[in-house]
Structure 1
Amino acid sequence: MNTYYADLHIHIGRTKSGQAVKITGAKSLTLATILETANYRKGLDIIGIIDSHSPEVIEEMEEMINSGSLTELNGGGLQYRDLVLIPGSEIEIYDENCKGPIHVLAYFPDLDAMKQFSSWMEQHLKNIRLSSQRIYVNAVILQQKVKELRGLFIPAHVFTPFKSLFGKGVSKSLQEVFDPDLIDGIELGLSSDTYMAEGMKELNPYVFLTNSDAHSLGKIAREYQALELAEPSFEEFSLALKEQEGRRVATNYGLNPLLGKYHETVCSKCHEKVTAHKESCSCGGTVFIKGVASRIEELKSYFPNPVPRKRPPYIHQVPLEFIPGLGPKLMEKLLDAFGTEMGILHRAGAADLKNVVPEKIAEYIDLARKGQLLIEAGGGGRYGRVRNLNQQRE
């Protein structure tokens, strides 16, 4: 088996013609720039582009196949230089069984299956060109359609307070909405990690995934996973989700949940953090945005898990963009020395870093990739932040 780094939740902001796909995504986030950034700067091996259902995105992929810059693989997926693209789609479900909207991810082995899925979805969406649109069909019917087209079905960022399975979508159980046998994995999201979620017995059957949900080029690979596969392809990824034939998710790399925007409960009026069971905030506000930490504790009380399944390590890796003092010029020096961000994070030794950037920055990077930086928690839509080195040593 070989190790491959994969980020499977990347949005497209605009098409080549400038048409919006993910409206909140950066205009610079196009198919071409994603492929170049993921391959040359980030050093990823596999990416999932989850707006591949958009007709103009499909046309761009077809153009690249015809020109020879993308190649369809026998095992599924599209090859771009050293990178494999798995076409996917993010969809919003809100049927009669949902308490609130739920985002899910569907991945397909090839562009033909993606085109069939897009044509089917167009009958149930208001605007097939845009990302994360609400589908007017029962959730289980959607699951069945994905499976009919040989796809993979994964609930997205499942604990986020808005538009997620456990954030708003269900009261207690995923079975309120989904057929559990038609789920292939669980994407944790930025405000949670394995150690928080493994206490839920209902999630024992599923592999956990950590992806960036990138809305800009810089956010690609802020979360990712190391996969052990024979080769990078859709079929191999599918085996890893089932943990079959030696394929597996070997390591999850993600933000310390404290850095996530929704980790702690906050007052919706002033965004001050509030403790559980408090009825009002000091500002007088009485409406709170429940944090992921509180919601997971609530869910664990419904289905306790005294013997969690064995899971791969989750490394609390702080993205390089969070490192204090690491500006564009120093970042370029690191990239010149080590090739890609994966090279900086996984292959450069501590002494090597000090030969390229100031000792203080090198120390930050080394602590960041070991998950040893102290973090001030975020909440209510605001990211947490890294404390400076003087605070780390106090």
Structure 2
Amino acid sequence: MKEFFADIHIHIGRTRTGRAVKITGARSLTIDQILKEASQSKGMGMIGVIDAQSPEVLEELKDGVKEGRYSELDDGGLSFGQTVLLLGSELEINDGYSNGPIHVLAFMPTLIKMSEFSAWLALHMKNVHLSSQRLYVDGRTLQRKVKELGGLFIPAHIFTPHKSLYGKGVKASLTEVFDPNFIDAVELGLSCDTSMASQLSELNRYPFLTNSDAHSLGKIAREYTKILMDHASFREFALALQGKDGRKITGNYGLAPQLGKYYHTTCEKCGVRPNEYDHVCQTCGHTRFIKGVSERLKELADQECDKGKRPPYVHQLPLQFIPGVGAKTLEKLKTVFQTEMNILHQATEKELKNVLPEKTANYIIKARKGEVGLIAGGGGVYGKVDINHEAT
């Protein structure tokens, strides 16, 4: 058994022909560039590209297998160097029972199964070529199709105020929208961690995943999950989600929730955080607020958090967030330690100080331990790091 770092929520910006897939994604987010960045720069053992249902993306992947750039594994997934790619799709449902759209992730084991899924999706959406498109079927119908094809079903960024399971409206239970038996895991999102999500009892049965939702190459692995498997593949990942045969999730690594852009409730117009019982913004008089994840969880919580029942969640800053670690410094570090995962998990304090000024090395040590001050974000604005003060 071996531990692998996995980030299974990465968007494709463009195909090889330049066609847009995720319109807000960087043009550099192509299949080849994603795999090179994840494998050679980040050091990820497993990634998920969640726009693989797009026909041009599928053709590109099939051609890559034919040309020998990737190889399809017998137990699911595509292999590229030290990294395995899972074939995923992010979809949006709005079935009338929920107040607002919900994003979900579906993963298929093989190119053949993803091609079948893509053909089915094309019958129920307006543009199968684009990412995160509205699907005109209800949640349970989608779940049944995913399971029919041998896939995995994972609600995405479940607490963010826009386009998520719990984030908006009056939804109090996932059973209002989904069959709870056809959910394989849930994705927490950038403004939530294990201690927060564990306050909701109906999530006790599901493993928690932390992923980047990357819209650019640099954002890959800003959050990730550590998984114990025999080897990286679709089947091994599925076993780990079930906790079977020794496979399991052993850790989550992500931003402190306060750094997420929806941690606190803010005024929709001016971005000021209201007092607890305000119905009108005291700064600008606006009457609508963007509810933060922390406040939403206070409404939903029905149990005390018991973190001991789950793998540890490590609040960890990506290297790009750390003062003094610009592009040149990062390349210098990679020359010595090869990948960002090695820098974050393997390099000792002494080794870092042999490469960097002592001040910068100390920042990295503090940041990867979560020992930095934070200014909470909200309303679509990320929180800020105060590296010179301790976390409270």
TM norm structure 1: 0.97
Match of 2:377 in 1: 378
Match of 1:231 in 2: 231
Distance 1:308 1:352, change over 3 A: closer
Alpha-carbon deviations, 1:220-240, whole Å to 9, x = none? 000001100011010010011
Residues 1:201 and 2:195 aligned together: no
C-alpha distance in 1 between matches for 2:241 and 2:146? 16
Which amino acid counterpart does residue 340 of structure 1 have in structure 2?
T
C-alpha distance in 1 between matches for 2:32 and 2:391? 43
C-alpha distance in 1 between matches for 2:96 and 2:208? 27
Match of 1:144 in 2: 144
C-alpha distance in 1 between matches for 2:306 and 2:256? 24
Residues 1:166 and 2:163 aligned together: no
Match of 1:275 in 2: 275
The residue matched to 2:142 in structure 1 has which SS?
helix
**Shift of residue 100 of structure 1?**
0.8
Residues 1:287 and 2:325 aligned together: no
Residues 1:349 and 2:348 aligned together: yes
Match of 1:9 in 2: 9
Match of 1:366 in 2: 365
Distance 1:136 1:392, change over 3 A: same
Identity, % of aligned pairs?
56
Alpha-carbon deviations, 1:45-82, whole Å to 9, x = none? 00000000000000000110000111111111100111
Unaligned runs of 5+ in 2: none
Q: How many residues align?
A: 391
The residue matched to 1:168 in structure 2 has which SS?
coil
The residue matched to 2:166 in structure 1 has which SS?
helix
**Shift of residue 393 of structure 1?**
9.7
Backbone CA RMSD of aligned residues: 1.4
C-alpha distance in 2 between matches for 1:127 and 1:170? 30
Match of 2:312 in 1: 313
Alpha-carbon deviations, 1:320-340, whole Å to 9, x = none? 111112111111111111000
Match of 2:63 in 1: 63
Unaligned runs of 5+ in 1: none
Match of 1:20 in 2: 20
The residue matched to 2:355 in structure 1 has which SS?
coil
The residue matched to 1:59 in structure 2 has which SS?
helix
Match of 1:124 in 2: 124
C-alpha distance in 2 between matches for 1:261 and 1:325? 23
TM norm structure 2: 0.97
**Shift of residue 279 of structure 1?**
1.8
C-alpha distance in 2 between matches for 1:374 and 1:305? 26
Task: Please say if residues 4 and 227 of structure 2, whose CA atoms lie closer than 8 Å, have aligned partners that are also in contact.
Answer: yes
Task: Please say if residues 158 and 164 of structure 1, whose CA atoms lie closer than 8 Å, have aligned partners that are also in contact.
Answer: yes
Runs of 4+ more than 4 Å apart: 305-309
The residue matched to 2:222 in structure 1 has which SS?
coil
C-alpha distance in 2 between matches for 1:191 and 1:307? 19
User: Superposed, which structure 2 residues align to 1:238-253 within 5 Å?
Assistant: 238-253=238-253
**Shift of residue 272 of structure 1?**
1.1
Match of 2:96 in 1: 96
**Shift of residue 6 of structure 1?**
0.3
Match of 2:303 in 1: 304
Which amino acid counterpart does residue 254 of structure 1 have in structure 2?
G
C-alpha distance in 2 between matches for 1:74 and 1:361? 45
The residue matched to 1:41 in structure 2 has which SS?
helix
Match of 2:39 in 1: 39
C-alpha distance in 1 between matches for 2:360 and 2:109? 42
Task: Please say if residues 373 and 391 of structure 2, whose CA atoms lie closer than 8 Å, have aligned partners that are also in contact.
Answer: no
The residue matched to 2:145 in structure 1 has which SS?
helix
C-alpha distance in 1 between matches for 2:132 and 2:210? 19
